[in-house]
Amino acid sequence: MDGKAFVETYGGVFEHSPFIAERAVAAGTIAEPLTADAVHGALVMVFRAASDEERLGILNAHPDLAGKLAIAGELTEDSRHEQAGAGLDRLSAAEHARFTELNNAYVEKFGFPFIIAVKGLNKDDILAAFERRIRNGRDEEFTTACAQVERIALLRLKSLLPGD
């Protein structure tokens, strides 16, 4: 697969951030055969080497959970499937109000949206994590959110590529 095709196919694994795939290709770290773990390792190396400002941009590219984009139907296909799989598209009015309250408080405190790999979780698991993590300090939460972004990328790659 050439570099352009790689970026077109895997450039969205890190939400709205094709520069991660572009840099991995430019660094020569992408090699056939492509496997989820190998591609993830190459992309994560680039993500971790990115500046704090660039990583913050990637965090901010993620939508709020059960937020305005979900209501408006404007999530990426991956995000829509992930949130629906956790039941976030079927919240009661009270649950939606709680998510909105937490989303707003979290963004106000940390300057980026709450990010969690929702695969295998339900709305109660996510709310519990939300309520626990909002008590963290900013540095701890930035590190946690980045780790969650890496997990989301791995889960997305596993749906596209074979494992090692």
- The residues annotated with a catalytic role in the active site are 62
CA distance 153 to 151: 5
CA distance 81 to 68: 16
Here the tokens at position 153 are 């990328």
Q: Given phi > 0 = left and psi -120 to 50 = alpha, else beta, which region is 92?
A: beta
Q: Contact at 8 Å (CB) between 27 and 162?
A: no
DSSP 51-116: -HHHHHHHHHHSPPTT-HHHHHT-S-HHHHHHHHHTTTTS--HHHHHHHHHHHHHHHHHHSS----
